[in-house]
Structure 1
């Protein structure tokens, strides 16, 4: 049976959960190029890196008490840097409810060998965060990109905590309001909510994290790209545009474009509103189709960026078929769920996606579902 495809396609079918859709109106011709081909240590290079940091501070509303640095190797590099330089001073609780949290657990247990307390939950669920011992350092992921589960707020974090909070926020910043007074270490990569290019990470350190760095030396050796201290003091240059290794100035110019675009849509509040509208539009699609559901059944912990959907009766092969059909029609790119997650679809609803494209995607999901079923 031939199933007729919908007449209208998303204008920008970029629904990948990383790297994500570029900001609306983006084109390479709009990027500044004066810094390209120049040293990142030259005046122009450092000034552009500093501008990127300043714009991130402005848009994210990061207080002056917190330092922002651009570091190598995406969010992974930033989070590893924090773990390797600061863990080991006191007990650790590591939380995991999806694949990236499990990665931090593995590093804490098998690489650093610090014997953490591990709190887990299945895909689609969130552990009991209120049960965490606040005398421990805590490793957690604010938004589980591969599970579609988010921490709803920071109320579980004590203002009188003894340990540090290590927040992997790579698909959360610029989409949620971060409680900076409760976050000692926050890391992310700008290829998620900003739609920037990959390979660069950002680390944000609160005053308690800086104090840890200045008063504690880990027992294990530190690779050069993890070192935040120099001659016994904090390497302040990292937080002023002096990166540890050579950055891509093209990627820096790209994220400056994204941050300046963010200001035109209302800054953080505007970005959050766009993401929330996208998630709501996808919610309407799920409600209208009984074969679709949310992996995160509880709306209170459901991501508004990386939204993970269940598909009735679908196995991994059917999900791949649906994704392949949609890509061939240029109706949706890269929406198959993460390989370690239960079979399903994952649709990015961050601010760089237009709500009209989410709405246009609905009939195409229906077409792909029935087409895949007819071919099986």
Structure 2
């Protein structure tokens, strides 16, 4: 079987080992005679998968005991609404640091719920960089401060997370969770859609500090109340059981290959190789993000001419490279090099880029 070089931004590459194992267990999970997709979510077999995934995520990310781990549905987009509904009280405001399209969308949903404040924005630079600590503004009325840790569209990433002792930070980490060490204690809540580094689409991980639940309003819709899912261990309703099973396999794969520390070094190696290829081209390829804000997950770049860019994407697809077209909102090219993208794929892309440069240098 010929596997393509998958650089999709999400749903994205999954480890081949994980796909092989899922295939082998698809019809009969551990010789049980049923697929995971056929298990009752109340069964002991599924419960073992579910609890195993929670425990392994806790181990890999070193999640303290005073945090809950939830598996929810609705993607990160539903969290845009759940966060302010649960934590934005009258007389307070949600403080949003705007670093790209997804933080803009999170702000838009919060504005429907209550008062908001924009404590930083990168719109004036077309989101080409992450704001400095000096550019961040806080307010005495902040209920929480929201950031998006990695910006898939523009290819920027917070290298150091903002700190302010008296603030509750909430982070959308959909596109870089599990890719590097995270100081969990700096955040009140972290959420992440699975379809980048954690598994297939369909499940959203929420890591929530228990203390935050004490002031949650009482009149929330049941399914939009974090307490509902905490009290029922994410089993209030039927969970996305197969997605959680796949997530558990990805977590086992991550542990097998050295855990977060090893994965982080691997990701740095891939990103450095690709950015070196861009920079060494001396302007044939130009990175979109400022160098000190470059993402290790989403590498964005442009070519000198639109016609040349289209030819690049056409020839790349013919050579088996998938997902290199930039987001429709900014164009250009983008290579998403999440955890499951092997180094060999990045090396192959760099070879193709160098060859294309030599053929079409202007």
TM (norm. structure 1) is 0.83
Of 175, 182, 188 in structure 1, the residue corresponding to residue 179 of structure 2 is 175
Alpha-carbon distance in 2 for matches of 1:104, 1:98: 10
Stretches of structure 1 lacking an aligned partner (at least 5 in a row): 1-9
**What's the C-alpha RMSD, in Å, of the aligned pairs?**
2.6
Aligned ranges for residues 320-359 of structure 1 at < 5 Å? 320-330=310-320, 332-341=321-330, 343-359=331-347
Aligned with 2:254: secondary structure? helix
How many residue pairs match? The answer is 344
Q: 2:15 — aligned with what?
A: 23
Q: 1:217 — aligned with what?
A: 217
Aligned ranges for residues 269-288 of structure 1 at < 5 Å? 269-288=261-280
Alpha-carbon distance in 1 for matches of 2:78, 2:53: 18
Alpha-carbon shift at residue 167 of structure 1 (Å): 0.4
Q: 2:137 — aligned with what?
A: 132
Q: 2:56 — aligned with what?
A: 55
Q: 1:200 — aligned with what?
A: 203
Alpha-carbon distance in 1 for matches of 2:345, 2:5: 7
- The C-alpha deviation readout for 1:56-110, integer Å capped at 9, x for no partner, is 111112122211100011222234322321123522211212110110121122x
Q: CA 1:59/1:261 → structure 2, altered by over 3 Å: closer, same or farther?
A: same
Aligned with 2:205: secondary structure? strand
Alpha-carbon shift at residue 47 of structure 1 (Å): 2.3
Q: 1:96 — aligned with what?
A: 98
Alpha-carbon shift at residue 143 of structure 1 (Å): 0.8
Q: 1:292 — aligned with what?
A: 285
TM (norm. structure 2) is 0.86
- The C-alpha deviation readout for 1:148-189, integer Å capped at 9, x for no partner, is 1111112x3122x1x421100111211121111111110002
Of 86, 89, 107 in structure 2, the residue corresponding to residue 105 of structure 1 is 107
Alpha-carbon distance in 1 for matches of 2:4, 2:266: 15
Aligned with 2:206: secondary structure? strand
Q: CA 1:223/1:326 → structure 2, altered by over 3 Å: closer, same or farther?
A: farther
Q: CA 1:78/1:24 → structure 2, altered by over 3 Å: closer, same or farther?
A: same
8 Å Cα contact 2:95-2:116 kept in structure 1: no
Alpha-carbon shift at residue 321 of structure 1 (Å): 4.7
Of 209, 226, 229 in structure 1, the residue corresponding to residue 224 of structure 2 is 226
8 Å Cα contact 1:31-1:257 kept in structure 2: no
Alpha-carbon shift at residue 200 of structure 1 (Å): 1.0
Aligned with 1:335: secondary structure? coil
8 Å Cα contact 1:274-1:350 kept in structure 2: no
Which moved further from structure 2: 254-263 or 129-138? 129-138
Q: CA 1:200/1:283 → structure 2, altered by over 3 Å: closer, same or farther?
A: same
Which moved further from structure 2: 67-76 or 33-42? 33-42
Aligned with 1:39: secondary structure? coil
Alpha-carbon distance in 1 for matches of 2:356, 2:239: 41
Alpha-carbon distance in 1 for matches of 2:153, 2:350: 21
Alpha-carbon shift at residue 371 of structure 1 (Å): 7.8
Q: 2:86 — aligned with what?
A: 85
8 Å Cα contact 1:71-1:201 kept in structure 2: yes
Aligned with 2:38: secondary structure? coil
Alpha-carbon shift at residue 263 of structure 1 (Å): 0.7
Aligned with 1:181: secondary structure? helix
Do structure 1's residue 66 and structure 2's residue 71 form an aligned pair?
no
Aligned with 1:357: secondary structure? helix
Stretches of structure 2 lacking an aligned partner (at least 5 in a row): none
Alpha-carbon distance in 1 for matches of 2:60, 2:190: 15
- The C-alpha deviation readout for 1:249-276, integer Å capped at 9, x for no partner, is 2222211111111011100111111111
Alpha-carbon distance in 2 for matches of 1:91, 1:279: 37
